[in-house]
Amino acid sequence: MRLAEEKGTIMTEEGLQRENERLQRLITELEQRCTELQDKLALFQYTIDALPQTLFWKDCDLIYRGCSQRFADFAGCASPEELAGKTDYDLAWKPEESEAFQADDREVLKTARPKYHIMETQRHADGTETWVETSKAPIRAPDGTILGVVGIYEDITERVLAEQAEALERQRIIEEQAATLEQVSTPLIPIAEGLVALPLVGSIDGQRAQQVMETLLEGIAHYRASIAIIDITGVQTVDTQVAQALVQAAQAVRLLGAQVVLTGIQPPIAQTMVHLGVDLQGIVTRSTLQSGIAYALEQGNIHIFRGMYTS
């Protein structure tokens, strides 16, 4: 009879056979368990691959231990298995991008607290760039030990581009409205050949005073006007700033060889201008816009446009 020695005991051939059978059952159970684990791992991989977000995780040394297929594609790897064991510096990111990613990871590991909604740009293996919104959190063992960091991000490029386009459109509309308001607030009207009028309405601040000056000078040059009427009937108050703007406009007009006629001065404004000591020397004043036009026509060098009345 064949004998075998194991751990100081003598086994019969029959006992050895039973032991072999037991070991074979264990191997079969282990193979089944391994298959089950592989199936569960595959199902987990399928699950994270199906998410609209992209998932990855690293150990405490910031070495990748797993990811979704989408992340592997972004990183230039054929599969999550190929990515495992690499760091950010081994992938297709720029060095400054890798450092930024790991800086966030180190912060999460150090504070042991999640970090939400990190806006980042991501460069793909093919050189294209996208916007992503990332959240990261520490991975904990049941006893609370930090095992690594997990990150999940979503491609928000379409949203960012839409927001940027919307912002540009809003800015365009604002600029168009501002230009329209500027034109409306300082409308230069050609009354006759050689005569323009600029009726002002509302308040006048420093910016609008500059617009008045520019509009008036450009209009005189464009229409080759010899007389410019500034009508302030719609201006409710005149302070030092407004008065200085009117005087400066008249001085600038004279430099172009033209003359300013100021119309629409109401009694309260007249009193204010006297009180402020405004020097209107060289500026012709008339009570109304109509009388200002009549004055300009009397100068003899103004020709009414065809279709308008003649005198």
pLDDT, tens digit, for every residue of 145-174? 999 999 998 888 888 888 888 989 888 887
* 211: three-class secondary structure by DSSP: helix
- Share the mean pLDDT of the chain: 83
Q: How far is it, in rounded angstroms, from Cα 82 to Cα 94? A: 20
Write down the pLDDT at residue 311. Answer: 35
Using pLDDT thresholds of 50, 70 and 90, give the confidence band for residue 62: very high
The tokens for 164 are 């940027």
> Per-residue pLDDT for 203 more than 80?
no
Q: How far is it, in rounded angstroms, from Cα 293 to Cα 311? A: 12
Region 112-141: what's the mean pLDDT? Answer: 82
Region 63-70: what's the mean pLDDT? Answer: 94
Percentage of the chain lying above the pLDDT 90 cut: 26
> Per-residue pLDDT for 221 more than 70?
yes
Using pLDDT thresholds of 50, 70 and 90, give the confidence band for residue 181: low
The tokens for 85 are 């064991």
Q: State the sign of the Cα–Cα–Cα–Cα dihedral 209, 269, 293, 296.
A: negative
Considering only residues 86 and 246, tell me which one the structure prediction assigns the higher pLDDT: 86
Cβ burial, residue 66 (10 Å; 0-12/13-18/19+): buried
Cβ burial, residue 115 (10 Å; 0-12/13-18/19+): middle
Q: How far is it, in rounded angstroms, from Cα 266 to Cα 236? A: 9
Considering only residues 119 and 36, tell me which one the structure prediction assigns the higher pLDDT: 36
Region 19-34: what's the mean pLDDT? Answer: 90
The whole-model pTM stands at 0.47
Cβ burial, residue 182 (10 Å; 0-12/13-18/19+): middle
> Per-residue pLDDT for 1 more than 50?
no
Any idea which residue has 């308008």 for tokens?
Answer: 308
Region 209-225: what's the mean pLDDT? Answer: 85
> Per-residue pLDDT for 308 more than 50?
no
Using pLDDT thresholds of 50, 70 and 90, give the confidence band for residue 201: confident
